């Protein structure tokens, strides 16, 4: 990407900045080969939302904040795209909640795990945060999942009761729900299997959600009578209504 592409005066500045973050992360070996494709999928849905946090997403973000605050063992699961786009804010959220983060990736290689964990360690040291970073020594498996994406930590994901998983894949979301966990996801696609299966789905862009959570958590919101299907329906309606004449 050229040096002018993330110029703040550019009308698509935020979008370009996110792309630049992904490019830098790719150079550091943090990302899956398909990370850009996944991001492009997200961007397409973000266009439909007007690239803003819509009211149903803000309601879902408040619910997620409330559930994380009410949890006995909350955890934030982090993959390549999440760390590249909002690693700093997600660590700050964990610091506020006094919970660990666990690096848990779909396309697992030792090289990527090392690059992601060292990126988080660097942010943690720079910001002086007190957050446990798990994932380097997986000692358990998520039941009913095949392959390396099932690997996780007993003291992290397995023991958690409430888990925030930005950009989760459908199978793993289902497997975590089947374990009886409260599964909180961030997914710009309100129609994805992840969005439909999660306990709470925030239909919004991950880096916007991270900033919103940082301001909402200190407000100590209360858990509500949450209906995730209704909220997803409202998100889809919002998109449809934005096309009405
Ligand atoms: O780091 P890894 O190995 O765990 O791999 C991560 C990716 C993202 C490559 C992997 O999980 C993947 O292939 O994801 P999918 O199946 O393409 O799903 C990505 C979902 O996240 C899609 O529904 C997108 O709409 C959504 N999405 C993409 N970027 C964002 C997003 N949602 C919120 N914010 C984003 N920035």
Does the C-beta of 116 come closer than 6 Å to ligand 1? no
**Whose Cα sits closest to atom 7 in ligand 1?**
35
User: Candidates 80, 81, 108, 185: which one to mutate for ligand 1, based on the most atoms within 8 Å of Cβ?
Assistant: 81
Structure tokens at 67: 């559930």
Q: Is the pLDDT of residue 74 over 50?
A: yes
What is the pLDDT at residue 149?
A: 87
Length of the chain: 245
Interval 203-237: pLDDT, tens: 999 999 999 999 999 999 999 999 999 999 999 99
What is the pLDDT at residue 10?
A: 80
Q: Is the pLDDT of residue 1 over 50?
A: no
Interval 166-186: pLDDT, tens: 988 899 999 999 999 999 999
Does the C-beta of 41 come closer than 6 Å to ligand 1? yes
Q: What average pLDDT does range 51-55 have in this prediction? A: 96
For ligand 1, the distance from its centroid to the CA atom of residue 96, given in whole angstroms, is 25
- pLDDT level of residue 128 (50, 70, 90 thresholds): very high
3-state class (DSSP) for residue 133? strand
What is the pLDDT at residue 118?
A: 98
What is the pLDDT at residue 203?
A: 98
Does the C-beta of 64 come closer than 6 Å to ligand 1? no
For ligand 1, the distance from its centroid to the CA atom of residue 131, given in whole angstroms, is 24
- Atom index in ligand 1 nearest the CA of residue 206 equals 34
Q: Is the pLDDT of residue 4 over 70?
A: no
What is the pLDDT at residue 245?
A: 58
- Atom index in ligand 1 nearest the CA of residue 116 equals 1
Q: Is the pLDDT of residue 39 over 50?
A: yes
- Atom index in ligand 1 nearest the CA of residue 108 equals 3
Q: Is the pLDDT of residue 94 over 50?
A: yes
Q: What average pLDDT does range 39-51 have in this prediction? A: 95
Sign of the CA dihedral 20, 105, 223, 237?
positive
| 3 vs 6: CA distance, rounded Å | 7
Does the C-beta of 39 come closer than 6 Å to ligand 1? yes
Interval 133-151: pLDDT, tens: 999 999 999 999 988 889 9
| 24 vs 83: CA distance, rounded Å | 12
| 22 vs 90: CA distance, rounded Å | 16
What is the pLDDT at residue 208?
A: 97
- pLDDT level of residue 5 (50, 70, 90 thresholds): low
């Amino acid at each position: 990407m050229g040096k002018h592409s993330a110029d703040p005066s550019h009308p698509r500045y935020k979008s370009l900045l996110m792309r630049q973050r992904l490019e830098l992360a790719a150079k550091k070996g943090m990302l899956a080969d398909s990370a850009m494709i996944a991001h492009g999928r997200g961007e397409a849905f973000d266009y439909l939302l007007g690239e803003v946090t819509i009211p149903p997403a803000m309601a879902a973000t408040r619910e997620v904040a409330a559930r994380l605050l009410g949890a006995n063992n909350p955890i934030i699961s982090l993959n390549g795209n999440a760390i590249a786009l909002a690693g700093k804010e997600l660590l700050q959220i964990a610091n506020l909640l006094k919970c660990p983060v666990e690096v848990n990736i779909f396309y697992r290689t030792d090289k990527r795990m090392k690059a992601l964990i060292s990126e988080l360690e660097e942010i943690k040291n720079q910001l002086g945060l007190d957050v446990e970073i798990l994932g380097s020594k997986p000692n358990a498996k998520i039941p009913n999942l095949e392959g390396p994406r099932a690997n996780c930590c007993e003291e992290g994901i397995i023991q958690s009761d409430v888990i925030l998983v930005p950009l989760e894949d459908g199978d793993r979301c289902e497997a975590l729900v089947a374990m009886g966990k409260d599964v909180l996801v961030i997914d710009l696609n309100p129609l994805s299997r992840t969005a439909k299966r999660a306990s709470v789905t925030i239909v919004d862009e991950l880096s916007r959600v991270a900033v919103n959570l940082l301001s909402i958590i200190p407000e100590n919101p209360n858990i509500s009578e949450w209906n995730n299907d209704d909220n997803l329906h409202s998100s889809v309606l919002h998109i449809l209504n934005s096309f009405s004449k």
